[in-house]
Structure 1
Amino acid sequence: MQAAIFPGQGSQRPGMGKEIYNRFPAAKKIFDAAEEIADFPLKEICFEDTEGVINQTEYTQPALFVSSLATLAALGEGFEFDAVAGHSLGEYTALVAAGIISFEDGMHAVLKRGELMSRSSETPGGMIAVIGLDEEKIENIIFPLKLKGIINIANYNSPGQIVVSGELELIKEAQKLLSKKARRLIPLAVSGAFHTKLMGRAAKQMSEVLEPIQFKEPKVAYFSNVSGKKEDDPEKIKELITKQIESPVRWIQLVENMMERGISRFIEVGEGKVLTGLIKRITKDAELVNINSVESVENFRKEE
């Protein structure tokens, strides 16, 4: 059994989607439809950006969402998958791929999500990736800081790669403490403390955005970032995706649960190779495929 998985913020690059747009009519249709919904030149930002605009959250999120769905469309209706998941922003792509929400509703939601997260919270926040330290040790190190304010593990990405998020001053303190134990620390270029309670206001506003959107039963198995589990009930899925912006991403648990349910092949659809890289560290038993170029789309279509 195989799953389609979709990347999140951090996988963007200048020029993304341009070759796929020019080569596949189905991909072109997705980009064109998305630009009609957006109030900015989405294709220009994806295809021609040289000023770093694509790295601004309000543009990054819709750009990645559309690029992944365009790549999925390029694969054609013959591409069948048994399950879906996405990392953070990528979970919205997964919602559309599973038939839970429409492309149009997904686009509107992601545009608002990017806007809200770009101005995130009134309290300055930051995020750091911690390399080479397990979650228990990280929790022990940051526990005293939790008594001072908001700081927590935001992304359980893979064994040995955990992301900590929180108030900026606490993140600075955490860096000093974690640097003594971790192999490496990577400060992330983000506009706030994503996946923490500092996103509470944005989560409330996202709930208002998502409330009128119709959520349907998944056409394939759908795995949630927040629960790390397979979810079937549309209302539960809506509740979880609303909480996602202020909740940790349980990617390790999610991948392990997919494998327990028989998923042995993971196909990352969209930019980069981040998710297959994480899965490689979670398990040695999975087949990993990346679809992120015209060549990879065409080769995959031949094989299938």
Structure 2
Amino acid sequence: MASTRRDRFGQFAVAFRGYNVANLGRSTELLARPQFGPIVERYLSEASQICADTMNQRCDLIERVRENRETTLETYHEAIALIVAMELAQLEILKEFYDFEFPRARMVFGYSLGELTAIIAAGVLEMRHALTIPLAVAADCVDLAENVTMGVLFSRGPLLDVEEVKRLCLKINSEGAGVIGISAILAPNTVLLLGQYATVDRFGQLMHDVMPKRVYLRKNSERWPPVHTPLVWQRNIPNRVGVLAHTLPGGFTKPTPPVFSLVTGKASYTDTNTREILVQWIDHPQRLWDAVYETLACGAETVIHVGPGPNLIPATFQRLRDNVQAQLTGNSLNKLGLRAMARAVRRPWLTAVLPSRTALLRAPAVEHIILEDWLLEQPLPTAVQVAVPQTHPTPTQGETTGSS
């Protein structure tokens, strides 16, 4: 990788992670690094105060990070503040020590909570204002998570019919035994479902009547706040977010660089619609696949993954890379007359989308950087001087030391 300021990352995209069951990553190491620690501490301190004021309870993220104490669902509010603070801190470290120019990004997006960080980093909102939105509804989201199960619906055959998935969810909802909805579209063959009570099991019972073979449903054992689904309607959360957004300071500036919204599947933010998108953000599914494709289509050579221990977005790109390589292998085998082997390695869903989305073929060539790993592995630039504590003589009797 080149080391000059402008070509270090080439044409780059920036991806911000969202909430997960593990949210510390390598934050403890970044806080302990003498050069980076003050920046990390400043962001954690500010986020702690915002969290404490909004939730009306004690929050000390510096202590949590220093002790390497992972968050839980019960401390969801602290996880929200921690993730946003660490993402912004990582970006500032990159700018401060490596002359990183965030406005040069070809593509910027964030998954779930990461979209909030993206619009903060792009100058649309300040952290002290933006964080109050998810924090204000965090307790209700945790309560709703009590009976919620995640289901990963995926196809090893044809494309998933998302409209058919929605229709089946609506049918199950109409039975009155709980609500289920799509939380994210990860790829043309994969969606995440969040459902109350036994609705995910009910989906599994009914799906084979309306979906093709080689479509599977796998349940996740963790509990998840059901954001980005209609489940949040049960606590009037979208309306409450809308009311809060009315008096939210800021939001009258276009993001620089433009931010690709996973709510709309486009770079939709203007100088007037931030509040509208924030309301939709809370109950609309995350269109991650649209962002993945746009990242490849925009010509990005590198994707910088920001946040503590990012995994969903890097894993999505890795699966796509593996699938594209398998597809290309299948094409080569077919040319050699090995049709049976070619069919075995090809991905039918990918075969269906490639003719209209040829940028997907770039997936194997794009480099992915986990920013916290990169920061901890890179030597500091030679221009950065680390301050050495000065030794002062001990005051003699009768002398005093001043304070400022």
State the secondary structure of the residue aligned to 1:21.
helix
Which residue of structure 2 aligns with residue 223 of structure 1?
Answer: 260
2:19 counterpart SS class: coil
TM-score (norm 2): 0.66
Q: Deviations over 1:81-100 (max 9, x none)?
A: 31321100111111111111
Aligned AA (1:296) = L
The 5 A counterparts of 1:283-298 are 283=360, 284=363, 285-293=365-373, 296-297=375-376
**SS of residue matched to 1:292:** helix
Q: What is the match of residue 289 of structure 2?
A: 252
Between the two proteins, what is the percent identity of the paired residues? 21
Deviation per CA, 1:50-73: give whole Å up to 9, x if none: 575377422222221112122222
How far, CA to CA, are the matches of 1:156 and 1:15 in structure 2? 25
Q: Equivalent residue for 1:4? A: 14
Task: Summarize the Cα distance change of 1:211–1:12 in structure 2 as closer, same or farther, 3 Å threshold.
Answer: farther
For 1:10 and 1:289, locate their aligned partners in 2 and report how far apart those are by CA, in whole Å. Answer: 19
Structure-2 change in CA distance of 1:71 and 1:219 (3 Å): same
Deviation at 1:249, TM superposition (A): 0.3
Shift, 1:188, TM fit: 5.3
In structure 2, give the amino acid aligned to 1:195.
H
Alignment of 1:127-138 (within 5 A): 127-133=150-156, 136-137=160-161
Coordinate RMSD, CA, aligned: 3.0
Is contact 2:18–2:114 with CA below 8 Å preserved after alignment? yes
Cα distance per residue 1:260-292 (max 9 Å; x no partner): 333332100112232122123344143211112
Structure 1 residues 264 and 50, CA gap change in structure 2 (3 angstroms): closer
Q: Are the structure 2 counterparts of residues 168 and 234 from structure 1 closer, same or farther at C-alpha, using a change threshold of 3 Å? A: farther
| Residue in 1 that maps onto 2:100 | 79
Q: Distance in 1 between matches of 2:77 and 2:207?
A: 31
Determine which structure has greater relative contact order: mean sequence separation of CA pairs < 8 Å that are 6+ residues apart, divided by chain length. Answer: 1
Task: Tell me the number of residue pairs that the alignment of Structure 1 and Structure 2 aligns.
Answer: 301
Return closer, same or farther for 1:176/1:300 CA change in 2, 3 Å cut-off.
Answer: farther
Instruction: Note the 1:118-267 alignment, pairs <5 A.
Output: 118-120=142-144, 124-133=147-156, 136-137=160-161, 140=164, 143-149=167-173, 150-177=179-206, 181-182=214-215, 185-187=218-220, 189-200=222-233, 201-213=236-248, 214-215=250-251, 216-267=253-304
1:104-123 to 2 correspondence within 5 Å?
A: 104-120=128-144
Write the deviation string for residues 228-285 of structure 1: whole angstroms up to 9, x where unpaired.
Answer: 1112413223211221110010010122224333333210011223212212334414
User: What is the distance in 2 between the residues matched to 1:279 and 1:300?
Assistant: 28
Please give the alpha-carbon distance, in whole angstroms, between the structure 2 residues aligned to 1:97 and 1:136: 34
What stretches of structure 2 of length at least 5 have no aligned partner? 1-10, 53-58, 174-178, 321-359, 383-404
Instruction: Please tell me the residue identity of whatever aligns with 1:88.
Output: S
| 192-201 or 173-182, larger mean C-alpha shift | 173-182
Alignment pair present for 1:61 and 2:84: no
Residue identity opposite 1:196 in structure 2: T
